[in-house]
Each structure stands twice: as structure tokens, then as C-alpha cells.
């Protein structure tokens, strides 16, 4: 059976500056240098994929594989390495990335913050700094001015809940500060930053008469009770789902800092601050009650025996993507762009099938009525996977860590075929 994707449906890959560009100096590279034990394989991001200098060839390769969109992030520490000092060459670089995308027929989708922060802001309290919304808005406005009308799709912050969980609840990522209070503060801080940047990008666009659609890239990881018939097990999934999967989106729709982060106070520009919904989906999680797991809000993750696993240990279930899309569409009624979906797969054995199953699931959700505008695969090249270092391989291309030579994997051709024909053939 084969299914067709809608006309104008965006298809391509997503990436993040710190993971591919190389040569960065931010809170992450500082941690990699000063606390190497924090990275599983003790690697440093270092030159990464040297995409900063090779972006033209890399983008041309993707366009030749019929990609029609490309998501990338602007590295704040390059553009504003010291507070208030903006580097024109860096902005011109990103403007050229955008123009290159356009010239190659790929719609650019630009992320303003993807996990990393300039060290000067990290040292002032990072996303919890009271001044962070103003500073982020100033940076966002500078980017919007520089990139101009060629960018119509913006993502303010990538995965705010993931940043809050790993940086503050677990304390495994910068700023390495595990505390519930810090975690809630980080959620509130990123919501304020998003609102400020949302307004800044729209102000610039309006002043010039440009079109702009602004959102976040929301990481949806639905927690499902291991034993759905047990009331206790069902109850244990409620709180983590409400906080990890819904708090941020509800804040953006209601315009309020809802409990447990705030008392419902209104935040200027937060209400209605999603023009579309950017969805990063990888996996659902089965959970069961465990009184000794307060860090996970007593919802212990359990690996189910009935689903295949990625090399990250995450379950692979395309039905989860369809459920996520349909649920978010039903609850929020916003057009959805799948801003990330992918699989860690050492030998590229899982990925070809993964594409067919996950894109079929997207087609099913569309047939059921969901307004889905695009699908961006994570990611084009094997890259620096945060605390996992270079040990996890999400790419369509492998990258030789000595020569940085890119080699396409078989799945790259499978995705190219889907992009070229806009058809997903399940055989």
C-alpha cells in the first residue's frame, strides 16, 4: 500500500549548531573541557562535523536528495560572544545559510536557542536570570533583522522541558544544578524567554511587512502506565505528563505561569504565542509507580518487552507518533510541523523501516484530519549527541571522525525516495 503526502509538505532534516558546527565557546563546551567525565565517551564537541565551514556542500547534498526544508539553529555565543557585542560576520554567515537553503529550494526553519547559552549569560543565571527574556529578545530581534524575509518559520527554544529536566531536575547538563526549585524556575524562565522572543520576531517582521510564524520545538514524550488497568499506575503517569508534556504548551496558550511553576500570573506576550506547534517526537515511555524515584516524580521508566529499541534504549513505535500528532491537534488545534523525529541506530539497520513506518503514521494522522505541514528528520549527519558524545548515531550520513568525510547510509536513499516522490510505499 502506498500513501501520498500533501503538496507543499515540508520534508528535510533538522540540526543544531553545537552538534554540527564546530569551534564553539559556550556553556556546553566549557563543561566538556572542565568536566570530561560528564560526557559518556569523554569526547568534546570540538570541530563536530565542521558544518560551519562546509555548510554549502552539506546543504547541496541534502537538496540533491530532494529535501525541501532544512531546520538549523543559530548559535547565540557566536552572534553575541560578549553581552551586548554583536558580531556582524556571524549574522552574515547565518544569512548566507538561509540564502543557500532558499537557492537550493529548501525552506529554512530557524531555531534561536538549542540547549546552549553564551557563557556570559550562563554565569548570570542562564535561563533563570531575570534579565534573560530581555536579552533573548534583543538577540532574536538581531537575528530576525539579519535573516530577513527569507525566514518564515521560527523556533524560539528547542525542547524547553528537556533543558529544564536535564539541566536542573537531573543536573546532568549545564548548569549542573539539580533541584526541583531550579527545575520549576527553568520552566518559568524559558516560558518568559519564549514570549519575549516571540514578540521580538513579530515586531521586526511587522515593521518590514514580512511573514513570520513562530513556535517552540516541543518534545512530546507521553508516559503511559505499564498496567493501564491499575488506578495507581494510571495516576502515576498524570503528574509527569502534565509537567513534562503539557505545562509549557498550556503556558503559551493561556498566557499564564500555571502551577506548579507559578500561581497563574499573566506574562506579557505569552498568551497565544504559538503560531504553529513544533513537535519533536522520538518515543513514548511506559512507567510504573516507584516510591524511591522522586527525581522522576515517582514514575519509574520501564522498558516494555513488546517493542523494538533504538541504540539509545528508546522504544520504537510509529503508532506513538500518530497518537502524539492526533492528541496535540485535538487539544491545541494548531498546525503541526514535526520539527524532529529520528532514531539512534548504530548500523542503519532500523532507520529504513523507521522512515516508512513513521511517515505512514504521519499520513494516517493527516487522513484523520490533523493539519501537519512538515516532517524534519533528526538528523542529516552523525553528530555530537550531548552527554552521549559521539556514541549515538542519528544521521543519514556517517562522518569519519578523522577526516570528517561524509558517507551516505542506505536509509538516506530511502528518505530521498520519499522526499522525491512524496509517496510512502509500505512495501
Of 122 and 204, which CB lies nearer to ligand IFM in the complex structure? 122
Greatest Cα pair distance, the chain, in angstroms, is 59
Q: Nearest distance from residue 385's CB to ligand IFM, in Å? A: 5
Of 13 and 151, which CB lies nearer to ligand IFM in the complex structure? 13
- Distance, in Å, from the CA atom of 378 to the CA atom of 212, rounded to the nearest integer, reads 23
The answer to whether the bond into 175 is cis (omega within 30° of 0) is yes
- Distance, in Å, from the CA atom of 338 to the CA atom of 116, rounded to the nearest integer, reads 22
Q: Nearest distance from residue 49's CB to ligand IFM, in Å? A: 13
- Distance, in Å, from the CA atom of 120 to the CA atom of 104, rounded to the nearest integer, reads 36
Binding footprint of ligand IFM on the chain (CB under 6 A)? 16, 19, 159, 280, 340, 378, 385, 394
106: three-class secondary structure by DSSP = coil
Q: Nearest distance from residue 333's CB to ligand IFM, in Å? A: 25
Q: What number of CA atoms fall less than 13 Å from residue 214's CA on the CB side? A: 29
CB-neighbour burial class of residue 148 (10 A; exposed 0-12, middle 13-18, buried 19+): middle
Beta strand 153-158 pairing with 213-220:
parallel
Q: Nearest distance from residue 182's CB to ligand IFM, in Å? A: 21
Of 21 and 340, which CB lies nearer to ligand IFM in the complex structure? 340
Q: Nearest distance from residue 244's CB to ligand IFM, in Å? A: 14
Residue indicated by cell numbers 518564515? 152
Of 9 and 166, which CB lies nearer to ligand IFM in the complex structure? 166
Of 139 and 394, which CB lies nearer to ligand IFM in the complex structure? 394
Q: Nearest distance from residue 111's CB to ligand IFM, in Å? A: 10
Closest residue by beta carbon to ligand IFM: 16
Q: Nearest distance from residue 147's CB to ligand IFM, in Å? A: 21
Of 3 and 18, which CB lies nearer to ligand IFM in the complex structure? 18
- Distance, in Å, from the CA atom of 61 to the CA atom of 31, rounded to the nearest integer, reads 33
How many DSSP H helices and E strands does the chain contain? 14, 17
Q: What residues does 107 pair with on adjacent strands?
A: 69
- Distance, in Å, from the CA atom of 415 to the CA atom of 396, rounded to the nearest integer, reads 9
Of 16 and 106, which CB lies nearer to ligand IFM in the complex structure? 16
Amino acid at each position: 500500500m502506498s500513501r501520498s503526502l500533501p503538496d507543499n509538505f515540508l520534508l528535510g532534516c533538522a540540526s543544531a549548531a553545537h552538534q554540527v558546527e564546530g569551534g564553539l565557546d559556550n556553556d556546553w563546551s566549557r563543561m566538556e573541557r572542565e568536566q570530561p567525565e560528564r560526557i559518556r565517551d569523554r569526547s568534546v564537541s570540538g570541530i563536530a562535523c565542521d558544518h560551519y565551514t562546509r555548510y554549502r556542500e552539506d546543504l547541496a547534498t541534502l537538496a540533491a536528495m530532494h529535501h525541501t526544508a532544512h531546520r538549523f539553529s543559530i548559535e547565540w555565543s557566536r552572534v553575541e560572544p560578549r553581552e551586548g557585542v554583536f558580531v556582524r560576520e556571524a549574522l552574515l554567515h547565518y544569512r548566507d545559510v538561509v540564502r543557500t537553503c532558499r537557492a537550493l529550494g529548501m525552506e529554512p526553519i530557524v531555531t534561536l536557542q538549542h540547549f546552549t547559552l553564551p557563557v556570559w549569560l550562563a554565569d548570570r543565571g542562564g535561563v533563570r536570570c531575570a534579565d534573560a527574556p530581555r536579552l533573548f529578545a534583543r538577540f532574536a530581534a538581531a537575528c530576525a533583522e539579519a535573516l530577513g524575509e527569507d525566514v518564515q518559520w521560527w523556533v524560539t527554544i528547542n525542547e524547553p522541558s528537556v533543558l529544564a529536566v536535564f539541566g536542573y531536575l537531573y543536573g546532568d547538563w549545564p548548569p549542573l544544578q539539580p533541584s526541583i526549585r531550579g527545575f520549576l524556575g527553568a520552566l518559568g524562565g524559558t516560558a518568559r524567554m519564549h514570549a519575549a522572543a516571540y514578540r521580538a520576531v513579530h515586531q521586526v517582521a511587522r515593521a518590514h511587512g514580512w511573514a513570520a510564524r513562530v513556535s517552540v520545538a516541543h518534545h512530546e514524550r507521553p508516559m503511559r502506565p505499564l498496567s493501564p488497568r491499575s488506578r495507581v499506575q494510571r495516576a502515576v503517569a498524570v503528574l509527569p505528563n502534565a509537567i513534562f508534556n503539557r505545562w509549557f504548551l498550556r503556558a503559551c496558550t493561556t498566557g499564564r505561569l500555571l502551577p506548579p511553576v507559578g500561581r497563574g500570573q499573566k506574562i506579557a506576550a505569552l498568551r497565544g504565542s504559538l503560531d504553529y506547534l513544533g513537535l519533536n517526537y522520538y518515543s513514548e515511555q511506559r512507567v510504573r509507580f516507584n516510591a524511591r524515584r522522586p527525581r522522576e516524580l515517582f514514575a519509574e521508566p520501564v522498558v516494555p518487552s513488546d517493542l523494538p529499541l533504538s541504540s539509545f534504549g528508546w522504544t520504537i513505535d510509529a503508532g506513538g507518533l500518530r497518537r502524539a500528532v492526533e492528541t496535540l491537534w485535538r487539544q491545541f488545534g494548531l498546525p503541526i510541523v514535526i520539527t524532529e523525529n529520528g532514531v539512534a541506530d548504530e548500523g542503519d539497520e532500523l532507520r529504513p523501516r523507521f522512515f516508512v513506518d513513521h511517515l505512514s503514521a504521519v499520513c494516517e494522522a493527516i487522513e484523520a484530519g490533523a493539519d501537519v505541514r512538515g516532517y524534519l528528520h533528526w538528523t542529516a549527519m552523525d553528530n555530537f549527541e550531548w552527554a552521549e558524545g559521539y556514541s549515538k548515531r542519528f544521521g543519514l550520513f556517517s562522518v569519519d571522525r578523522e577526516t570528517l568525510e561524509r558517507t551516505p547510509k542506505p536509509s538516506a536513499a530511502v528518505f530521498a525516495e520519499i522526499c522525491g516522490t512524496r509517496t510512502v510505499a509500505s512495501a
